[in-house]
Amino acid sequence: MARQSRRGRRSADERPGDRPRDAAVGERAAGSLAYYYPTVFVTGAAIMVLELLGARVLAPYYGSSLFVWSSLITVTLVALAIGYWLGGVVADRRPRPALLYAIIALAGLATAVIAPTRGPVLQATDALGLRGGSLSSAFILFTAPLLLLGMVSPFAVKLSTVSLGRLARTAGKLYSVSTAGSFVGTLAAGFLLIPTFEVRTILLGIAIALVAVSLVVFALLRRGRPSTVTAVLLAAIVVLTPGSQGTRALGDTVLVAKEPSFYGEIRIVDRGPLRFLLIDGGMQSAIDTRNGLCALEYPYVIETLAYRLRPEGSRALVIGLGAGVIPDAMANWGVTSDIVEIDPKIIAVAREHFGFDASGHAVHVGDGRRLLEETSERYDYVILDAFAGEMVPVHLLSREAFESARAAMEPEGILILNYVGYREGPQSRVAMSIAETLRAVFDSVETFAAGTPGDYGGNVFVASDAPIDVGAATRAGPLPFPVHEVIRESATTIRLSNLPGGPAIVFTDDHNPIDLWDVTGREHWRRDTMKFFPSWVLLG
């Protein structure tokens, strides 16, 4: 009865013409709701573009491995969680539109700071290794902008709520619009922005968009007078974000070109007479510009083994083009190749910068595993050369993938696989497991070293249902380095008698722990790359 009496007394006190103060505030907020829909849309899009772009920011030092993506997702979730909580607290204490848009402007400034600071951050965290370095650098570079953007949605809900009775509806609308922005941002980042523009250009675009939203709303709130502070932030962003750099030279090193792509940032670097192909900071191939010959050892090992084991062969399937050195080399003794390359820009780069001649070959754009499973052709050689450093497509290193390769081969055809990693000791478990997986499919398997001897380097696996007997057959052809003369004389000198190490397993599509087992090997490969190239080549 007392409760009913209080309710009745409150109803009696509220006359039709009266409006509680909170309701009046709510109506004023509802009048500005048009500001908050585009606001949460833009900030929702910015969050997803930053998360996806983060892989390219970290790639020069840490590649695009599973650990990099896990680090970025972890930092994004933690930063947003803190931002949601903090945004609600601040909005309850100071529910002012000017404060909300100041936070958005600061998020733009924090985004602009990423480009000029990523070099020092990546260099400082490199000593922590692939896992620790990628996580700590993602935390340092992306926490501030993502946390500030996370504050926007709860703040907008607070400002745009008319009454408690409509709180859920208002929150639902705003989060729906924010999610729509994230949807658009994800598509734009993956299908347009990242494959088309440089990292610094995209970061500058995000920063300007966030500050522009603040400028527009501040101008409306102040009846056309722009905020001096926000204008200064916009100017700071333009100054902080470095401009695009074309061809750049320092000493004997020249950054000839760089090309964004769906699958990684492509760079062509000249160092003295050698020209290198880098993808996401990882070296993929190299030629000597004086004669056009390959400057790496493993293609010659592959070519020589293919010729010695099946000199009468005439058709090859090459998965992974790189600079195109393997198909060109095998064409010297009459082998035509079907080439599968997942990145069409690599094909253009190989032609323009490395002299790859596609005439006489069939070049397919697509995934190598899918072509293996769909082709009705039969090949004398299937060459898997889609691996470099931490970029190992594990779906090509499984029993099922090797079974598809076997089905695409002639009865005595040869599978040749290039893999960079440890050859000896406990770290060689990946190499041993590759050999074990090949033995689960083929009758004969041998392993050869490509490059200098030691516990780490290039490993060339050869598998066939026919006996693998490297004879003394030779062929005429240019071999630019003394080590290749050794290969010409006797391939047995590069054979590894065994691969001692941890217990090997058969890799399958359901269980393939290469990403976990090969962390040390990938860190080794990255260190070698960073020692060889100046940091400005990887980050510029």
Condensed to tens digits (0 to 9), the pLDDT of residues 447-457 reads 887 766 677 88
The CA–CA distances, whole Å, from 462 to 214, 304, 305, 443, 518 equal 61, 12, 8, 11, 21
Tell me the per-residue pLDDT of 399-430, one tens digit each, with 9 for 90 and over: 999 999 999 999 999 999 988 888 777 778 88
Q: Per mean pLDDT, which range of 4-18, 47-61, 77-91, 245-259 is the poorest?
A: 4-18
Instruction: Please report, for the chain, the start and end positions of each structural domain, with discontinuous segments joined by +.
Output: 20-240, 295-535
Long-range contacts of 13-19 (CB under 8 A, 24+ apart): none
406/61 Cα distance (integer angstroms): 36
Q: What tokens were used for 195?
A: 């494959």
More confident of the two residues 89 and 169: 89
241 CB-near residues (< 8 Å, 6+ apart): 112, 115, 116, 200, 203, 204, 207
pLDDT digits (tens, 9 = 90+) for 65-107: 778 889 999 999 999 999 999 999 999 999 888 889 889 999 9
Q: What is the CATH number of domain 295-535?
A: 3.40.50.150
CB 505 within 8 A of CB 436: yes
Q: What is the 3-state secondary structure (H, E, C) of 488-526?
A: HHCHHHHECCCCCCCCCCCCCCCCCCHHHHCHHHHHHHH
Task: Name the CATH superfamily, with its identifier, for domain 20-240.
Answer: MFS general substrate transporter like domains (1.20.1250.20)
Q: Provide the 8-state DSSP code for 538.
A: H
* CA-angle at 345, arms to 340 and 348, nearest 5°: 90
Residue in the block written with tokens 């522009």: 212
Look up tokens 């380097």; give the residue. 457
Question: Is there a common fold for 20-240 and 295-535?
Answer: no
Closest C-alpha to 382, from 426, 317, 309: 317
Average pLDDT over residues 314-335: 90
pTM of the model: 0.77
d(CA 423, CA 419): 10
341 closest CA partner among 323, 355, 354, 357 = 323
Return the HEC string of 108-161: HHHHHHHHHHHHHHHHHHHHHHHHHHHHHHHHHHHHHHHHHHHCHHHHHHHHHC
User: Which residues, 6 or more positions from 34, have their beta carbon under 8 angstroms from its beta carbon?
Assistant: none
How much is the pLDDT for 459?
84
358/343 Cα distance (integer angstroms) = 15
The Cα–Cα gap between 375 and 380 comes to 14
